[in-house]
Amino acid sequence: MTADCVFCRIVSGEIPGDFVFQDHEMVAFRDIHPVASTHILLVPREHIGSVQDLKSGDEEFIGRLILRAKALAEQEGVAERGYRLVLNCGVYGGQIVPHLHLHLIGGRKLGDSLG
Ligand code: 5GP
Ligand code: ZN
């Protein structure tokens, strides 16, 4: 728990989140500013700053995070038409919240541009 981290505060329950999944190692909640009808953030309970802070041993966790995104896409009914998974990393990558999170975005045809 990092006291000034907004996602740590959501994980701990200090700030409310619209949760769609929780287990011992991750939570998933709806983005406060959704860019599509489904916009979910999958977040490790542990404070990991970004992809740059991942280390050897985290491979299976990251695999489970992606598989959970797949399951949530199916639960949301967006899997068949397709969806986007996004991991922004660092300032130039467009990361605003410095606690690793995987965006699951679906429900409309997204643009081809990656920025
Ligand atoms: P980033 O640009 O860091 O990859 O994305 C951060 C995301 O977190 C943004 O889409 C933003 O809307 C979302 N976000 C920021 N603060 C909060 C919050 O307090 N609650 C929720 N649910 N989402 C947040
Ligand atoms: Zn944090």
Distance 112 CA to ligand 2 centre (A): 31
- Mind spelling out the 3-state secondary structure of the chain? CCCCCHHHHHHHCCCCCCEEEECCCEEEEECCCCCCCEEEEEEECCCCCCHHHCCCCCHHHHHHHHHHHHHHHHHHCCCCCCEEEECCCCCCCCCCCCCCCEEEEECCCCCCCCC
Atom of ligand 1 nearest to the CA of 86: 4
Domain locations along the chain: 6-106
Residue 8 phi/psi, 5-degree rounding, is: -60, -40
pLDDT at 114 over 90: no
pLDDT at 1 over 80: no
Domain 6-106, classified CATH 3.30.428.10, yes or no: yes
The reply to whether ligand 1 has any atom less than 6 angstroms from the CB of 98 is no
Distance 45 CA to ligand 2 centre (A): 8
pLDDT at 3 (0 to 100): 76
pLDDT digits (tens, 9 = 90+) for 72-102: 999 999 999 999 999 999 999 999 999 999 9
pLDDT digits (tens, 9 = 90+) for 3-52: 799 999 999 999 999 999 999 999 999 999 999 999 999 999 999 999 99
The reply to whether ligand 1 has any atom less than 6 angstroms from the CB of 88 is yes
Q: Name the one residue in this structure whose structure tokens are 């991991």.
A: 87
pTM of the model: 0.98
